[in-house]
Chain A
């Protein structure tokens, strides 16, 4: 609401980069960030859907055994989705080190004084102690550090999944056998795989609501930006210290 005084009434040159009231249209999320975001989402839906079936097969087909392959097919889909998921997560983690500015790991680990301050600023906002979240161009630092935990969950899922796959694997995937004792055996790996799925789904439930809230309060087009890559930033966003 607080548009700096000098901008009120000033006619901005409306162009590709600037909108009314000095708001600038800024390219924040590059293609890899956006694509990996949606691919990870879709593969998680596929993995969770098939995974819940594998854990508790609720469809019992009738007919001759040799004419059915329900669990087999579901497992094939689960495995292929797992490949997509693993590769996308790997690309996204690599992109944290070579990608564009707002894709980098500094967005996930609050290191600078301002970003550490903004973690608390964001917490204050969530706890109704502040009316507005602090202005951040990329991820807000609180969200960024939570995403770091989510990536840790992804890696845990990948590791337990590979370990479980290695139980029956024939070929190079057998090499993940060494992971089984780290998790305390295949049954424990199974349990971790299962529980971590619910944590990821719980994060998903939270993610939707906080994205809607922050998008609405910031008015910078947070949700749209994950499709288009552009955020609408208030004037003066460049003057923020880092």
Chain B
């Protein structure tokens, strides 16, 4: 550390990040990606010496929350240094350039480094009204995405909006918003880092994986890296023991809630959501929703705003009975209704027979058989 041998080392020194801290960061990344501890040396080596790719960051239809997620890091971390060192040539929120100058930057990257830069996309792409819902420099989001993502080495969809459409695509989806995979089909390499917002750690880990191995991490069926989205929230949850033992919060602020018990009955979607929140946490592992006493809302899942709501109910309601309707109540009364209807039906049938046969007399012979077909009766 006394004699930083690389630009990167000097950069770390300038920001007051010790080499020990940096190696610790590499080890934690190795663990996160699911590699043995020994891989941390390879990662450190790669971060220090491998050429950093150019990165353009496109903001489409969203709240810029994914950018915020990065900018709000509480202290200058090694992750921030890496993201600074990666040459971010275009980022509408943080770049100094503006207007035509900014657009010229983007165009020069797309033209001069075609097939070599990484495109990070934030926000969904509106396709309604010919793309008129969102234009930058006179071009629609769809045109920009087609051009920039189509020429990129790889596209990383940061956040649920870019991955699956997210909140802008929620019903009734007035702008016809789509995620990147639907709006720009046929992208060579697409990595979805869903979540609302994206966890900065997962983006860093994905980029570092690429820097180290020159390939992208293995993905699940929704193109999400398995290291981050391979397990359900529920399976790694710190409150899981309460779930298995049957101890649940039943009301906000009740004794079980204050005791930190399971939020399953409060509509926690942890069992049906996939991400590594319980392991890596948020905001430098300060906390994460369930640790704060709030159930998971499944923000990393496709169509979460439509499918995971009501957030404080276990299941959505039954069609025609309202979104918050209680399926069990409807099912119970429905079953009881069927029972009553068929009981009435059966009793009517049998009652009619009784009257027709003369209920006071004993019946003669076997009660019934169908009249046989004509041909048989002789």
A49 at the interface (CB under 8 A from B): no
Q: Is the CB of A190 within 8 A of B272?
A: yes
The contact string, 1 if C-beta is below 8 Å from chain A, for chain B 323-345, is: 00001101110111011001101
Q: Is the CB of B377 within 8 A of A190?
A: no
Q: Nearest chain B CB to A112's CB is how many angstroms away?
A: 14
Q: Nearest chain A CB to B356's CB is how many angstroms away?
A: 8
Q: Which residues of B contact A55 (CB under 8 A)?
A: 314-315, 328
Q: Is the CB of A71 within 8 A of B245?
A: yes
Q: Is the CB of A202 within 8 A of B335?
A: yes
- Given A198-B331, A205-B342, A219-B315 contact (CB < 8 Å): no
Chain A 199-242 interface residues, beta-carbon cutoff 8 Å to B: 201-202, 204-206, 208-210, 212-213, 216-219, 232, 234, 236, 239-241
A14 at the interface (CB under 8 A from B): no
Q: Nearest chain A CB to B348's CB is how many angstroms away?
A: 7
Q: Which residues of A contact B366 (CB under 8 A)?
A: 3, 20-21, 23, 219, 232, 234
Q: Which residues of A contact B242 (CB under 8 A)?
A: 65
User: Quick one: closest A residue to B265, CB to CB?
Assistant: A57
B312 at the interface (CB under 8 A from A): no
The CA of A194 and the CA of B316, in the complex, are separated in Å by 11
One of B222, B272, B338, B376 near A167 (C-beta < 8 A): B272
Q: Which residues of B contact A11 (CB under 8 A)?
A: none
The CA of A241 and the CA of B289, in the complex, are separated in Å by 68
One of A133, A167, A206, A216 near B232 (C-beta < 8 A): A167
Q: Nearest chain B CB to A92's CB is how many angstroms away?
A: 24
Interface, chain B (partner A; CB < 8 A): 221-222, 232, 234-235, 241-248, 250, 256, 261, 264-265, 269, 271-273, 298, 301-303, 307-308, 314-316, 318, 327-328, 330-332, 334-336, 338-339, 342-343, 345-346, 348-350, 352-353, 356, 365-373, 376-377
Task: Show 24 A/B contacts (Cβ-Cβ < 8 Å), sorted by A.
Answer: A1-B368, A2-B369, A3-B369, A60-B246, A60-B247, A68-B246, A69-B246, A71-B246, A72-B245, A131-B356, A135-B369, A135-B372, A167-B232, A178-B221, A184-B307, A185-B307, A187-B307, A198-B327, A202-B338, A209-B345, A210-B342, A210-B346, A213-B349, A217-B353
**Shortest beta-carbon contacts, A-B, top 10:** A198-B331, A70-B246, A234-B369, A186-B272, A209-B342, A68-B245, A219-B367, A135-B370, A72-B244, A205-B339
